[in-house]
Homo-oligomer: A and B are copies of this chain.
Amino acid sequence: MQQEKTCPQLSIRVIDYTRDRLEERECIELTEAWSWIGRETVTWIDVVGVPEHGELVALGKQAGIHPLTMEDITAPDQRPKVEEFESYIAVIVRMLSARDDNVAGEQVSLVFGENYVITFREQPFQVFAQVRERLKNEQSVLRRAGPDFLVYTLLDIIVSAYLTILDEIDDRVEDLQSEVLVSADRLVLKRIYALKERLVTIRRAVVPAREVLGSLAGRESDLIRKETAPYFRDAYDRCIQAAEIAEYSRDTLAGVMDLYTSNQSNHQAEITTFLTIVATIFIPLSFITGYYGMNFENIPLVDSPWGFYFVVLLMIGVSAAMLLYFRKNGWI
């Protein structure tokens, strides 16, 4: 797969296409990119990095984009949402990517009008490059469809990333479950909490994304063609599924936690039971030895030669009675 070229500051790329023709510009200025909007062709402006807010608002005004939309795009950690304005629809979602044993979420904003799509993302990630490659293929459905289909394709790739990451998490949760059934290692707790935290990050991306896609799937708008609607419904279904897997993993994780706690207390109980048995057997025996260790002259049997053997038999008898009593109660 083609590596994304890194530009000096902002990395802005324009792809302009019709069924027959495709032009691409990399590392251009925002203002230059903007000049492509308004042509008859479909224009995709892909912005990586956070542009300067004032410039964006000014450019937005040219394209009929409300300042509030531009504010949402430049502000970090916006809640995923979809908002329809007169001439465009603005979509904010979170892209999830696995990053050294953790999950990172980044804001992706998509603004699309009648013949343009503008995407804003904080960092470069590979998945959008796939779409670019597909666009370059003249046979691709993308080339024959409008901006709404491009938006669907990008959102679908984001939802696929959710499912990939969730599958991995789900595997780990199930590994943990099998492990917990055999070991009660304290390290497991840290891993449970690490997975829990990752699931929180995922849920905070997936749950509102489900709303976003539901809203796009059910929307009647001039900007979403009738032919594209089933695709959005399909992406919506997959996002519901992602949300359900996240829910399910969370429940399983809670079950693993319970199992761990139960195992821990069971482990503890075994140790205590062992102490109880040892102590309960030896305490009476020690009493007997103490009894015959008293400095009285006239302790019965002490002076008898059979005394000692009687005491040993008594000790054996007491121990045996104790053990039988334990067994009868199912304690050993």
- A residues with CB within 8 A of B: 66, 68, 71-72, 78-79, 81, 83, 85, 181, 184, 186, 189-190, 193, 196, 200, 204, 230-231, 233-234, 237, 240-241, 244, 248, 251-252, 255, 259, 261-262, 264-276, 278-280, 282-287, 289-299, 302-303, 305, 307-308, 311, 329-331
A282 and B271 contacting across the interface, CB-CB below 8 Å: no
B234 and A68 contacting across the interface, CB-CB below 8 Å: yes
A181 and B186 contacting across the interface, CB-CB below 8 Å: no
How many copies, total? 5
Residues of B within 8 A of A269 (CB): 264, 268
Residues of B within 8 A of A276 (CB): 271-272, 274-275
How far does the alpha carbon of A165 sit from the alpha carbon of B85 in the complex, in Å? 32
A237-B289 in contact given A181-B190, A296-B308 (Cβ < 8 Å): no
How far does the alpha carbon of A270 sit from the alpha carbon of B311 in the complex, in Å? 30
Which has the most chain B C-beta neighbours within 10 Å: A72, A233, A284, A303?
A: A284
A294-B296 in contact given A269-B268, A282-B283 (Cβ < 8 Å): no
> 6 additional contacts, CB 8 Å, given A271-B276, A283-B283, A285-B290?
A72-B234, A85-B230, A193-B259, A200-B248, A271-B273, A278-B283
User: A185: shortest Cβ distance to chain B, in Å?
Assistant: 9
A275 and B286 contacting across the interface, CB-CB below 8 Å: no
Which has the most chain B C-beta neighbours within 10 Å: A71, A85, A283?
A: A283
A287 and B284 contacting across the interface, CB-CB below 8 Å: no
B280 and A289 contacting across the interface, CB-CB below 8 Å: no
Residues of B within 8 A of A290 (CB): 285-286, 289-290, 293
Residues of B within 8 A of A271 (CB): 272-273, 276, 331
How far does the alpha carbon of A172 sit from the alpha carbon of B71 in the complex, in Å? 28
By beta carbon, the residue of chain B nearest A241 is B79
B282 and A289 contacting across the interface, CB-CB below 8 Å: no
B298 and A305 contacting across the interface, CB-CB below 8 Å: yes
A79-B298 in contact given A231-B68, A286-B287 (Cβ < 8 Å): no
By beta carbon, the residue of chain B nearest A273 is B271
User: A203: shortest Cβ distance to chain B, in Å?
Assistant: 10
Looking at the complex, which one of B71, B251, B279 makes contact with A279 (CB distance below 8 Å)?
Answer: B279
User: A240: shortest Cβ distance to chain B, in Å?
Assistant: 6
User: A329: shortest Cβ distance to chain B, in Å?
Assistant: 7
A and B contact pairs by CB, cutoff 8 A, 8 listed? A66-B230, A68-B230, A78-B241, A261-B262, A279-B280, A289-B293, A293-B293, A295-B299
User: A261: shortest Cβ distance to chain B, in Å?
Assistant: 7
User: A54: shortest Cβ distance to chain B, in Å?
Assistant: 14
